């Protein structure tokens, strides 16, 4: 994804949005792990108190270099982000609105996003905003839209290997997500397609698309997996709502 977008720009607002289970948290943890690995101090403004430190530490995040701001409302989250930006000293400030109600986030006035953009300008800080829908509009220098494409399940028994739908004996192995570059100030002559698993880059004429896989447990990567077609998802939920 860094090869396609040029990385998260410093001194700018980056917005990543998408529905539930589209990969927003995975990108957040990967970004925090990379920044803290380089001895940078990061801040996470958690609007809905949804951050899991144990999962983050497993993903490689150095928690001793992360300031976790646990908020009770959107107003607290926005005020905390503005205060951290003016205070300075952070390599990354992430505002996690992914679990906040989309309607409430949509009601945030546009001048709030302008104020955050002005606060981060001319600073070495990366301002990352995660949400379910795009709200920052033109205030964001980089906008990525995430969407889940396929889901893979791992079976305990090979006797059921021919089945498409998961059963109580199946475990979630991972899923593949698609990231579309909606807006960026970094202009590239040819859009790129990146397969994170194979670390290969190829040209795509259709648009700026990045696909990446999210694995539940890397140690289980050699076990058989069975992708679930997108058309079968609705039927799957009806047959097995649990």
Average of per-residue pLDDT values in the chain: 78
Residues 158 and 41 in one domain: no
* pLDDT confidence bin for 171, thresholds 50/70/90: confident
Domain membership of residue 153 as a residue range? 147-239
User: What pLDDT was estimated at residue 42?
Assistant: 97
Rounded to an integer, the average pLDDT of 147-166 is 63
Q: How many C-alpha atoms does 132 have within 13 Å on its Cβ side?
A: 12
> Taking Cα atoms as reference points, which of 153, 160, 165, 162 lies closest to residue 231?
165
The more confidently predicted of residues 100 and 223 is 100
pLDDT at 140 over 60: yes
Report d(CA 86, CA 130) in Å as an integer.
20
pLDDT band at 149 (very low <50, low <70, confident <90, very high): confident
Q: For the residues 36-53, what does the mean pLDDT come to?
A: 95
Lowest-pLDDT choice from 22-26, 59-63, 156-160, 230-234: 230-234
Of 143, 177, 201, the last residue of a domain is: 143
Same domain membership, residue 117 and residue 193: no
Please state, for a pLDDT cut of 90, what percent of the chain lies above it.
53
**Residue 227 predicted with pLDDT over 60:** no
| Confidence (pLDDT) at 176 | 83
Q: Check residue 107 and give its pLDDT.
A: 94
Domain-ending residue, one of 124, 143, 162? 143
Q: Is the domain of 165 the same as that of 119?
A: no
Residue 154: DSSP 8-state: E
Q: Are residues 84 and 152 in the same domain?
A: no
Mean pLDDT of 210-233: 47
Q: How far is CA 16 from the centre of its chain?
A: 6
The residue-averaged pLDDT of 132-155 equals 86
Distance CA 152, CA 163 (A): 12
Please give the model's pTM, rounded to 2 decimal places: 0.72
pLDDT for position 162: 52
* CATH number of the domain enclosing 119: 3.40.50.300
Residues 98 and 170 in one domain: no
> Going by C-beta distance under 8 Å and a sequence separation of 6 or more, which residues neighbour residue 50?
96, 98, 99
Residues 6+ apart with CB under 8 A from 122: 11
d(CA 128, CA 42): 11
Number of domains in the chain: 2
pLDDT digits (tens, 9 = 90+) for 65-92: 999 999 989 999 999 999 999 999 999 9
| pLDDT beyond 60 at 138 | yes
Rounded Cα distance, 99 and 192, in Å? 30
pLDDT above 90 for 59 = yes
Choose the weakest-confidence range: 17-26, 29-38, 55-64, 88-97.
Answer: 17-26
Cβ burial of 242 (10 Å; 0-12, 13-18, 19+) is exposed
Query: Which of 22, 19, 68 is closest to 210 using CA atoms?
Result: 22
DSSP percent split of the chain into helix, strand, coil, nearest 5: 30, 30, 40
User: Which is more confident, 16 or 234?
Assistant: 16
What whole-number distance in Å separates Cα of residue 139 and Cα of residue 108? 13
């Amino acid at each position: 994804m860094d090869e396609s977008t040029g990385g998260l720009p410093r001194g700018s607002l980056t917005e990543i949005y998408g529905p539930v289970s589209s990969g927003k948290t995975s990108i957040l943890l990967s970004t925090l792990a990379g920044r803290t690995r380089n001895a940078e101090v990061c801040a996470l403004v958690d609007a809905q108190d949804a951050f899991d430190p144990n999962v983050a530490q497993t993903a490689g995040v150095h928690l001793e270099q992360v300031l976790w701001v646990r908020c009770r409302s959107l107003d607290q989250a926005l005020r905390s982000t503005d205060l951290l930006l003016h205070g300075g000293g952070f390599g990354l400030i992430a505002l996690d609105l992914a679990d906040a109600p989309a309607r409430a986030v949509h009601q945030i006035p546009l001048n709030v996003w302008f104020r955050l953009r002005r606060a981060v300008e001319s600073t070495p800080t990366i301002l990352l905003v995660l949400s379910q829908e795009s709200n920052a509009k033109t205030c964001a220098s980089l906008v990525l839209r995430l969407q889940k494409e396929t889901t893979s399940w791992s079976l305990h028994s090979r006797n059921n290997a021919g089945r498409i739908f998961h059963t109580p004996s199946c475990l979630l192995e991972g899923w593949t997500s698609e990231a579309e570059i909606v807006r960026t100030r970094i202009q590239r002559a040819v859009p790129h397609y990146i397969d994170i698993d194979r670390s290969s880059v190829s040209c795509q004429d259709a648009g700026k698309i990045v696909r990446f896989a999210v694995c539940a447990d890397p140690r289980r990567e050699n076990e058989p997996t069975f992708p679930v077609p997108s058309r079968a998802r609705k039927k799957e939920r009806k047959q097995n709502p649990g």
